Chains A and B, each alone.
Chain A
């Protein structure tokens, strides 16, 4: 079946503009995660959805970042007033979330965001 998909694959924007990144998880996966990877660094957790609720938003770096999920499916990560330090690859993952801490997370190909 289809894996996790993300769009766009690449996004170049000017500082101060807003961007929306989309994630389509694997059908039936109730858990969805956003991570980002800045150059030369590991993946940083941003936010976790269980269904349409976000019980853990602890990784969102500022109030310029927000995310929503609808229909227990598609999720959108929005970054307002982008800054150059927001440049990174944004990765989405989904899982069945059957048992805490042991679920395989399936990752999408990522969106590479470049803020000029």
Chain B
């Protein structure tokens, strides 16, 4: 079956630091890959996605590249801000099967 493994948290960084949150997956076929974010007091929202190998998803300065050879979809940002403090979830879904399979989430705290 499908599974997603992501970096254990919590992660604490200083403002303007470089961020990487690792995500690897196991899936049949060619899944679509997602990063969702949950800001404090808010619901889950899509941050970025990639639907095929070598695609790069990007949004709000965050990027992730779909690496089929390493079954990974690591989230990166070059310079984090305090407003990026949130819980980040890596997820996948298979074509024709709408449900999302999530990782356990990584809590990120950025200190000024």
Contact = CB atoms under 8 A, between A and B. Distances in A.
Nearest to B3: A42
Chain B interface size band reads 20 to 34
B43 A31 contact: no
B98 A97 contact: yes
Nearest to B95: A101
Contact of A41 (B4, B31, B104): B104
A56 B46 contact: no
Chain A interface size band reads 20 to 34
B97 interface: yes
Interface string A49-82: 0100000100100000000000000000000000
Contacts of B60: none
A107 B99 contact: no
Interface in B79-108: 89, 91, 93-105
B71 interface: no
A107 B37 CA distance: 11
A4 interface: yes
B20 interface: no
A104 to B, nearest CB: 5
B99 A42 contact: no
Interface in B5-36: 31-32, 36
B111 interface: no
Contacts of B31: 101
Interface string B41-54: 01111100101000
A43 B102 contact: yes
Contacts of A59: 99
Interface of A: 3-4, 31, 33, 35, 40-45, 48, 50, 56, 59, 91, 93, 95, 97, 100-110
Given A44-B102, A100-B96, 20 more contacts: A4-B43, A41-B104, A42-B89, A42-B102, A42-B103, A42-B104, A43-B100, A45-B100, A45-B101, A56-B99, A97-B98, A101-B51, A101-B93, A101-B98, A104-B46, A105-B46, A106-B45, A107-B43, A107-B44, A108-B43
Ordered nearest first, which 3 A-B pairs have the shortest CB separation?
A107-B44, A101-B95, A100-B96
